[in-house]
Amino acid sequence: MLGYGPTASASSTVSSPRATPTPMRWIAPSGAPNGCSRDSRCRDMPDSTRVPLIGLSPHGQQALFGLAAFRGLGEAERRDVAGLLREIAVGKGETVYRAGEDADALYIVASGAVDVLDGKQLIARYGPGEVFGESVLIAGERRLVTTCVALDAILLVLPRESLARILERHPALHERLSSGLVRRVKEAVKLALAAPRARPSEIVVLQGWTSGEERRAFVESLADALEHELGRAVAIVTVASRARSSSVAARRDRPDAVVLGEPSHRGEVRDRLAAELATRGAQAPVVLAAVDDGLDELEPELTRLGDTLLVHANGRPAADDQIRAGRTVLVHDRRAGDGPPLSGNGIVSLAVDERGRRRDLGRLSRHLARRSIGLALGSGAAWGLAHIGVLDVLEREGIPVDVIVGASMGAIVGGHYALGFSPPQLEEIATRVRDILGIMRILPRLLYLAADFNVTRPGLFAGEHFQRILEGLGPVRGHSFADLRIPFRAIATDIHTGARVELADGDLSDAMRASFSAPWIFSPFRVGEHVLIDGGMSDPVPAETVRSMGADLVIGVNVVPPLYPHAQNPLEAALRAFERLRPIQSRNSRGLPNSFDVVVRTLQIMQHELGNVRAGEADLLIMPDLREYWVLEFWRAAEMIERGRRAAEAELPEIRRKLDALCGRAA
């Protein structure tokens, strides 16, 4: 952060779980600076109407005179400088200044934290003792960036006119401040050239746990998962009463803290919390914060300070007035019963067994660390079997999949994988038909499928028998979205509106059936008020939906190839042989494709092109080379799965590069 602030190296205090960070601290109750209460902070007022604090608080004086530029001043000079500053309290989420505004003041953070943004891009986070807004030192300069409050902050404001008076009275300060500005510019250049940049600390607040023992077990397990994911120690901050503070156990060599507080002093508790969260945020990439037993009334104060809120689904409901920005994650424990549908990173349902709980906490930790990975598996009938090869490579390389969305065949493969089927299991199911013996084994099912032939509804086949066969090949019958291990959604298309429909609840088999309802081949499928056809008609590679489910890195897989003249269509070959045997043929029909082939090729052209467009939302696109295969060559599953593997392996370097960027590691 700031090179000339007293806390410039504070963020490096804790670098790994084995480091020795700042010891466990108990923050004793004390009045807010100069008696300021939460009610005086005027969070909804514009800058011009914020209420300044009278004089400088002890925190303000410490922040001001701890700066290298102001060290060495005598008592009279200190009083003179302090009299020219004003101290303001600014709430989380407020904007200090925006890019393009006149640079009219210099700011010093006395407590809390502020974020510096270039558009939506986070540049830096400044904490206690750090300076920002140095562009005021350049006459006529305007703000190049926007600064917002990340944690409730006390800011020292030095207006341009006051700054000019200080520099006039103390000329030596001009050189010190100017040298600080030069160093800041150099750091900004380094930040711009250095890729990637680490995110500031994530403040995660727990809410709704009614059992202190259960809450503590969960927060410590989550901390372990986060430390395993991040390779660094995380902090746990607990709000406790003085009577119970001694019962809050400290983890060894971790930057944990206890903030003492009582419900009767909510404003003061929030002030101390904001200051402590800013301190711990400079030492740890993630801070987990919770209130101890008997302090439920303080949860709203803590909630408003968090970046992410974890709500216990089995616990106490949230108060109606707890309106907040940021992310919310519902945490359910399957040991307490069946959970909600698993349809995004906003829901975590902890498994009953320990191995499953570690898996679920790992997914939650990646979401909290903003490095969650999502897959968009495209439509494509038999071509969709290549998805199995892609999943196999990702699993083999230890690249976790946190959310999945599938269209058509992508929904079938993705739904089974989300339910817990491994890539080898899926490959075994897909490759049962390789030769004549394989065909003979499934012949009864093929004859059963023939009974699905339809003459009363749209589509050659009604689809019900195909659905039963699907349930038999990979047993999904009786399973719902609540049984999933990985969040999943199936994409279908509303035939009346043409809109994309995301299926995220109810029966898994029905969602798959709706998603693979290819036009003209299968009858549409009704789900609630929607009459649905194949998801590939509206979104063949649903990367946008993956992003909306909370994925930070989106990988799209488009398996539909461009038209390739050498791909053999057995049905077309058979029909052409039959035509040659016919004694009477229409001269105009010679050399024309049959109606089935026209439909299939039309769908292929559309889905290949539309899939590439829809995949634009993805950070990376995998495209297996399947030009040599016909759309319904399911008996060549092994070859297409292998093509999927090769395509995924070819993209591994790029996947790892993007993961490194996401994790803040140098490439």
All domains of the chain in start order, with CATH = 58-193 (2.60.120.10), 202-365 (3.40.50.300), 371-566+616-663 (3.40.1090.10)
Q: What is the DSSP letter of 199?
A: P
Angle, alpha carbons 309-315-316 (nearest 5°): 80
Q: What is the mean pLDDT of the segment spanning 6-24?
A: 32
Closest CA to 387 of 623, 169, 153: 623
Please state the rounded mean pLDDT for residues 180-203. 58
Residue 419 has pLDDT above 50, yes or no: yes
Contact call for residues 555 and 375 (beta carbons, < 8 A): yes
Say which residues have a Cβ less than 8 Å from residue 165's Cβ, sequence separation at least 6: 84
Average pLDDT, the chain: 78
pLDDT band at 317 (very low <50, low <70, confident <90, very high): low
Active-site residue identified among 135, 201, 349, 408: 408
pLDDT at residue 28 is higher than 60:
no
DSSP state of 81: H
Both tokens assigned to 134: 């140095």
Exactly one of 152, 534, 539, 552 is catalytic; name it.
Answer: 534
How high is the pLDDT of residue 136? 82
Is 534 catalytic? The answer is yes
State the average pLDDT over residues 486-493. Answer: 95
pLDDT tens digits, 283-312: 899 999 998 888 878 888 788 888 899 999
Closest CA to 453 of 522, 381, 511, 517: 522
| SS3 assignment for 288-322 | EEEECCCCHHHHHHHHCCCCEEEEECCCCCCCCCC
Residue 474 has pLDDT above 70, yes or no: no
Mean pLDDT of 211-233: 93
Confidence at residue 265, expressed as pLDDT on a 0 to 100 scale: 79
Lowest-pLDDT choice from 127-131, 399-403, 411-415, 550-554: 127-131
What Rg do the C-alpha atoms of the chain give, in angstroms? 31
- How many Cα atoms within 13 Å fall on the side-chain side of residue 242? 4
User: Tell me, what's the pLDDT at 582?
Assistant: 53
Structure tokens at 234: 């995380």
pLDDT at 15: 27
pLDDT of residue 156 exceeding 70, the answer is yes
- The 3-state DSSP class for residue 481 equals helix
For residue 222, pLDDT beyond 90 = yes
Per-residue pLDDT at 135 exceeds 90: no
pLDDT at 48: 39
Evaluate if residue 497 carries a pLDDT over 50.
Answer: yes
**Structure tokens that stand for 273 in this block:** 């919390």
* Helices within 66-208 (DSSP H only): 75-82, 160-169, 171-193
The type of residue at 645 is R
Max CA-CA distance within the chain?
115
Side chain identity at residue 375, one-letter code:
L
pLDDT at 26 over 50: no
Is the model's pLDDT at 50 over the cut of 70? no
Identify whether the C-beta of residue 52 lies closer than 8 Å to the C-beta of residue 86: yes
Q: What's the rounded mean pLDDT across residues 398-423?
A: 94
Per-residue pLDDT at 4: 28
Res. 42 pLDDT band, cuts 50 70 90: very low
The answer to whether the CB of 349 falls within 8 A of the CB of 334 is yes
What is the C-alpha to C-alpha distance for residues 22 and 129, in angstroms, rounded to an integer?
A: 17
**364 vs 637: CA distance, rounded Å:** 34
In this prediction, residue 45 carries a pLDDT of: 33
138-153 tens-digit pLDDT: 777 888 889 999 888 8
pLDDT band at 471 (very low <50, low <70, confident <90, very high): low
Does residue 413 surpass a pLDDT of 60? Answer: yes
Q: How large is the average pLDDT for residues 419-434?
A: 86
pLDDT at 124 over 60: yes
Among 103-112, 225-234, 487-496, the least confident range: 103-112
In the predicted model, is pLDDT for residue 445 greater than 60?
A: no
As a whole number of angstroms, the distance between CA 612 and CA 627 comes to: 16
Cβ within 8 Å of residue 66, ≥6 positions away: 5, 6, 129
Task: Convert the pLDDT of each residue in 579-630 to its tens digit.
Answer: 555 555 555 555 566 666 666 777 777 777 777 777 788 999 999 999 888 8
d(CA 389, CA 383): 11
Q: Which residue has the higher pLDDT, 266 or 85?
A: 85
